[in-house]
Every structure is written in C-alpha cells, then in structure tokens.
C-alpha cells in the first residue's frame, strides 16, 4: 500500500502540466470515483467541461444516483455524456478510452468496478489522472503511475 502524499513544488507543476496536456491531446475520457456527492459533482463538472471542448466523456454510476443527486443524471443525458452502469458497458469502451480520470476517491476499494478498470485500462497503460484531496491514513494511491 502506498499512502497518498500531497504533491508540491516542481512535482506538482509537472503533474498539473501533464494532466492539462492529456486533456488537450486526448478525445475520449472515462470518469470513476466513489459515488458520493463531492466525487459525483467533480465527475459531472469535469465531464461537462470536456463536452464543451467537443470531447467524449463517460461516467461510471453503477446504481444510479440517490434522490438528492438524481438531477445530475438528467444533466449528463442532456449533454450526451454516457452513464455506465455495468461491467459489460465498461469493457465495451476498452478500445476507445484514452484517459481514465479518478475523482475524489481515497482508495481503489471505493471505486465501482475497479478490478475491471485495472484489467481493461490501467494494465494496458491507459493514462490515469487522479484528482483528490485525501492524504494520510485513509488514503492509498489508486495507480502507481497516475498524474
């Protein structure tokens, strides 16, 4: 287990520059994370930003959203952002996803279908951007090479 540590200084600048480059260079993105309000809000807002740039985005929401967040499903549908509910739907995208973005998730145990994501994307060297604020005891790096 590798505890997440805050990225600071030049390393922060390097990671940020690489993430910005990936967003500019790539066209197809997959969002995943813990299904809680701040994680889902991060996924939806970043996916909407990518759609404004005419890029494709999909969001993993295996059980939909609870009542107080259900309006976000309508926003995703209205903006042609695909919602993935099953492992099969994720596997169907294995040849098109260029970047996986993990939002606000302390560790891989909280990510729905993480084993599938690991097999279909991470182990095949698909780029990973991890956006998070969890550090220390409750955190673990989701991937060894994520930006």
What's the CATH class of domain 9-131? alpha beta
H-state helical runs in 53-134: 71-78, 87-92, 114-120
Quote the CA–CA distance of 51 and 31 in Å, as a whole number.
13
Task: Tokens 């690991």: give the residue.
Answer: 118
pTM listed for this prediction? 0.90
Average pLDDT over residues 64-74: 87
pLDDT beyond 50 at 147: no
Tens digits of residue pLDDT in 74-84? 999 999 999 99
How far, CA to CA in Å, does 13 sit from each of 17, 19, 137? 6, 10, 25
**Structural domain boundaries in the chain:** 9-131
Average pLDDT over residues 15-44: 93
């Amino acid at each position: 287990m590798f505890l997440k540590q805050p990225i600071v200084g030049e390393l922060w600048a390097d990671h940020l520059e690489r993430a910005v480059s990936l967003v500019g260079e790539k066209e197809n993105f997959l969002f995943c994370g813990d299904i809680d309000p701040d994680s889902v809000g991060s996924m939806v807002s970043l996916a909407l930003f990518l759609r404004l740039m005419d890029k494709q985005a999909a969001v993993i929401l295996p059980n939909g959203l609870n009542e107080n967040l259900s309006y976000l499903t309508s926003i995703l549908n209205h903006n042609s952002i695909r919602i993935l509910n099953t492992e099969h739907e994720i596997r169907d995208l294995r040849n098109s996803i260029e970047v996986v973005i993990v939002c606000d998730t302390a560790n891989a145990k909280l990510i729905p279908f993480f084993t599938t994501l690991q097999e279909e994307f991470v182990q095949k060297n698909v780029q990973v951007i991890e956006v998070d604020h969890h550090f220390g005891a409750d955190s673990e790096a989701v991937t060894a090479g994520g930006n």
